[in-house]
Amino acid sequence: MYLKGIAEHAKERFKKFLRKELRDRFGNNDHVNQETHVANLSALKDDIDQNFKNVLQNGEIYFGRVQKIVNLYLKYRWICFNEQKPVHCPVDSVVLNEINLPHIRWTKMTVNEYADAVRKIGVVNGFGKIAEWELEIFNRKNETYK
């Protein structure tokens, strides 16, 4: 994700920015619909690209990494603090395999691939049940959490 040889202080600046933006943009988990959520993810990606192109490989962060960071943040706020259920789930290799899209690498996923994956999950499981579906898969695949 980072440029090779990038200084630790540059990575720390990026991490600090990310922590602040997660709290400020997603801290209230007020994402009432899928379109708004994808737009918010895209806006964060754009801001990261603009502010940290000198830190990131190829001058950008892939959408797949942004969605995973944000969706994990929202998932854990839901699970650990009983906050609002997220509209989406973290899409990673486990999820992509479950929906028969193993050829997509989540670390390099585009916004269109993400939208296709979420649509496929929603059609099969119900759009209001995406987060629960992923949690069930997570628990099934991780015996420690049962």
pLDDT digits (tens, 9 = 90+) for 93-111: 999 999 999 999 999 999 9
pTM: 0.92
pLDDT digits (tens, 9 = 90+) for 120-145: 998 888 778 999 999 999 988 887 75
Per the document, the length of the chain is 146
pLDDT digits (tens, 9 = 90+) for 14-31: 999 999 999 999 987 665
Which residues does 133 contact at the CB level (< 8 Å), separation at least 6?
A: 89, 121, 125
Positive or negative CA dihedral for 107, 110, 114, 117? negative
CA 21 → CA 12, 16, 38, distances in Å? 14, 9, 16
The torsion angle over the Cα atoms of residues 137, 140, 135 and 90, rounded to 10 degrees, is: -50
Give the mean pLDDT of the chain: 92
Beta-carbon count within 10 A of 46 CB: 13
> Helix axis angle, 130-141 relative to 111-125, nearest 10°?
90
